[in-house]
Amino acid sequence: MAKVFIDGEAGTTGLQIRERLAGVASIDVISINTDQRKNADARREMMALADLTILCLPDDAAREAVALADELGKDAPKIIDASTAHRTTAGWVYGFPELAPAQANKIAAATRVANPGCYATGAIALLRPIIEAGLAPPSQSFTINAVSGYTGGGKSMIADYEAGTAPNFELYGLALNHKHIPEIMKHAGLTQKPIFVPSVGAFPQGMIVCVPLQLSALSSGPKLDAMHELFASYYAKAMTVIYHCNADENAYKAHRLSIDPAQDTDQMEIWMFGNPDDQQAVLVARLDNLGKGAAGAAVQNLKLMLSLT
């Protein structure tokens, strides 16, 4: 059995990962004593026992944990970092298997994998195919709008919502410098910083990420059908990304899309809606911020790295 150590297992993501791994017969999750969770020597000893360590820590603590692992030399475990710390760091493989055709193999061969951010997962899934296909240049200006359940905001936000003291809905990140922007730019292939406006609602889980498009403003001026064919082809063999649409004009004309089905799933769904007459479109990704946006993605990467089905 493969031994897995979750450094920070008491947090929201750590608990979700542990819950998922409980049903995997070939995984033995090893845990540190509660009173030793901040003891560097004890954590290093756990890493030495593990085949793979998952870091569910704040950024600075994650960097410190990697330094501890480095001290083990050849006995260091493989690492999945669920923090923001290494998502744009050279030498780390980005843990989004559907990013590109060879990405799953890169993850499988990696010893250091950076788990994607939840918002970034949706945004990159919508933007990367467009840039990769040359339908827009990397310098194209994009706008990303998103809403997430409050469990993505950490312990204090969760406590506020569960106590009923938080607002029903709020925009945030209005300084336009959200921490997910660098990874969105790097892994979507953008050179122009997008305008990213996140928000949070009074529901625990689920996330919708939207990219509105004026197709005539894109360099190639693609039609809706061409966009559909691009996304259908890009995600035809995806493991946990499902593209919903068909070339029937009526399929573009949905009026509503609920966030509810995104809860408690490790998949991500993608749609393209639009107006063929005006050549306007909106790309939509729906996922669980704790599933494909965090714990579900970590377990998917773990299985690739440990050659588990």
Name the residue among 24, 34, 30, 43 with its Cα closest to residue 4: 30
CB of 283 closer than 8 Å to CB of 126: yes
In this structure, how many other beta carbons lie within 10 angstroms of the beta carbon of residue 264? 11
118 assigned to active site: yes
Q: How far apart are CA 198 and CA 147, in angstroms?
A: 6
**Separation between Cα atoms, residue 264 and residue 19, nearest integer Å:** 12
- The CA–CA distances, whole Å, from 89 to 59, 79, 84, 93, 127 equal 13, 14, 10, 9, 21
Tokens 């082809």 identify what position?
233
Q: How far apart are CA 287 and CA 119, in angstroms?
A: 9
Q: CA torsion angle for 300, 302, 306, 308 (degrees, to 10)?
A: -30
Yes or no: say if 279 and 223 are a contact pair by the CB < 8 Å rule: yes
CA distance 85 to 309: 28
Catalytic residue among 56, 118, 210, 245: 118
Kindly list the catalytic residues: 118
